[in-house]
């Protein structure tokens, strides 16, 4: 492996205690290069550790890309706190494709998850690469919807720290055509304080951000705020004012976000990426539909039902594939929830969650 001294100096600077992305770029501007900046620091990250980190990426099959390298995402460079490095698992050639983000609640309703899947799938077919945070709920379904066309997952911890752990298969599936990225060193455990940094990367990569079922003070709203600062378009799916999961997304709509009910609403604003203009749809895309992949154990059945239901009535036949139990057991649990005042039954064998349910 050829030694890249500029890359080593950059890595030494950003890994030195007290140096974050903002100070990194300030130092580079002040001293002209990372090599010169290091001379003015009393305690510098050892060159041996920087070399070992680069080698570790190579050995484990990851890429470590610096902001001066051509593969680095051009859209991230517009951020004043652009990460000097990102670690990548997967296809480094996908990092400069046109991207749109889909974010939302982890405890999303069945309807929200289905919409996330379908919007991601349709935007992918139109030429957009979908960015999300590999979280449960909305993020997970967005990634699944865009697997055939390419999707980018952004992690809060190191790129080798899959979070949540049950998304290990999804992590590897994403890397087959797209990529998983992180700005944190390998082995970094995802902690609460790192998720806003992840959200700024999601926003920085995207020309538009679609928010589905976001509560007040949620990470999805942080992503939307970052995107607004960078001039990206903000889209939000309207939800019931009685559902706390929709309070944040409804707030965005009041503030001027674009009302979104399908991918067509998004494409009407951001259009088709230039690379696909006059070329039509990507060829040989497999036909995909939303397939729930969540298994529920019997002890949590009623709680899972409350999570999957929203204030909008859901057909019983759509709920059944989500659970390993028989139809009579699921129906029995719904009847119990109805008697307890948490669920309402509607004509056509449909059910909705009551506003007071939690």
CA geometry: angle 113, 119, 122, nearest 5 deg:
140
Longest dimension (CA), the chain: 74
204 vs 187: CA distance, rounded Å: 24
Higher local confidence (pLDDT), 91 or 2: 91
Tokens 């939000």, located at residue: 236
pLDDT at 279 exceeding the cut of 50: no
**How many Å apart are CA 214 and CA 218, to the nearest integer?**
6
Q: Which domains are assigned to the chain? A: 1-48 (no CATH), 93-276 (3.40.50.450), 298-353 (1.10.10.10)
What is the per-residue pLDDT across 17-56, written as a single tens digit (0 to 9) for each?
999 999 999 999 999 999 999 999 989 999 999 999 999 9
Flag whether pLDDT at 277 surpasses 60: no
List of residues 6+ apart from 141 with CB closer than 8 A: 108, 113, 114, 116, 117, 120, 290
pLDDT of residue 1: 54
Q: Please give the DSSP secondary-structure letter assigned to residue 240.
A: -
Do 345 and 338 contact (CB within 8 A), yes or no?
Answer: yes
Tens digits of residue pLDDT in 306-358: 888 888 888 888 887 878 888 888 888 888 888 888 988 888 788 888 887 76
Task: Please compute the mean of the pLDDT values over residues 135-148 and round it to a whole number.
Answer: 97
Q: What is the dihedral of CA 302, 171, 147, 94, to 10 degrees?
A: 150
Is the distance from CB of 267 to CB of 297 less than 8 angstroms? no
Structure tokens at 55: 């080698």
At 143 the pLDDT is 98
pLDDT-based confidence at 275, cuts 50/70/90? low
Give the per-residue pLDDT at 2.
59
CB-based contact 9:35 (threshold 8 Å): yes
């Amino acid at each position: 492996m050829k030694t890249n001294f500029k890359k080593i100096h950059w890595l030494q600077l950003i890994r030195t205690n007290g140096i974050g992305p903002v100070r990194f770029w300030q130092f580079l501007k002040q001293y002209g290069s990372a090599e010169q900046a290091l001379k003015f620091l009393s305690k510098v990250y050892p060159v041996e550790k920087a070399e070992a980190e680069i080698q570790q990426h190579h050995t484990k099959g990851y890429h470590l890309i610096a902001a001066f390298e051509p593969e680095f995402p051009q859209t991230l460079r517009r951020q004043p706190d652009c990460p000097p490095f990102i670690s990548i698992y997967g296809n480094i050639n996908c990092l400069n494709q046109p991207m749109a983000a889909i974010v939302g609640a982890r405890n999303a309703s069945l309807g929200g998850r289905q919409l996330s899947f379908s919007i991601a799938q349709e935007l992918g077919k139109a030429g957009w690469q979908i960015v999300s945070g590999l979280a449960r709920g909305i993020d997970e379904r967005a990634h699944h919807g865009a697997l055939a066309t390419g999707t980018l997952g952004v992690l809060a911890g190191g790129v080798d720290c899959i979070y949540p752990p049950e998304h290990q298969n999804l992590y590897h599936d994403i890397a087959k055509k797209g990529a998983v990225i992180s700005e944190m060193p390998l082995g970094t455990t995802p902690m609460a304080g790192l998720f806003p940094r992840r959200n700024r990367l999601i926003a920085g990569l995207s020309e538009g951000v679609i928010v589905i079922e976001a509560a007040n003070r949620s990470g999805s709203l942080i992503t939307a705020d970052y995107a607004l600062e960078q001039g990206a378009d903000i889209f939000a799916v309207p939800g019931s004012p009685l559902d706390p999961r929709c309070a944040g997304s409804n707030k965005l709509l009041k503030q001027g976000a674009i009302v979104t009910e399908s991918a067509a609403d998004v494409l009407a604003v951001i259009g088709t990426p230039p690379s696909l203009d006059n070329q039509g749809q990507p060829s040989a895309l497999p036909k995909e539909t939303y397939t729930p992949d969540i298994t529920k154990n019997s002890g949590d059945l009623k709680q899972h039902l409350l999570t999957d239901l929203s204030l909008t009535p859901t057909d019983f036949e759509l709920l059944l594939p989500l659970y390993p139990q028989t139809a009579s057991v699921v129906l029995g649990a719904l009847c119990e929830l109805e008697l307890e005042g948490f669920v309402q039954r509607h004509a056509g064998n449909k059910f909705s969650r009551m506003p007071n349910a939690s």
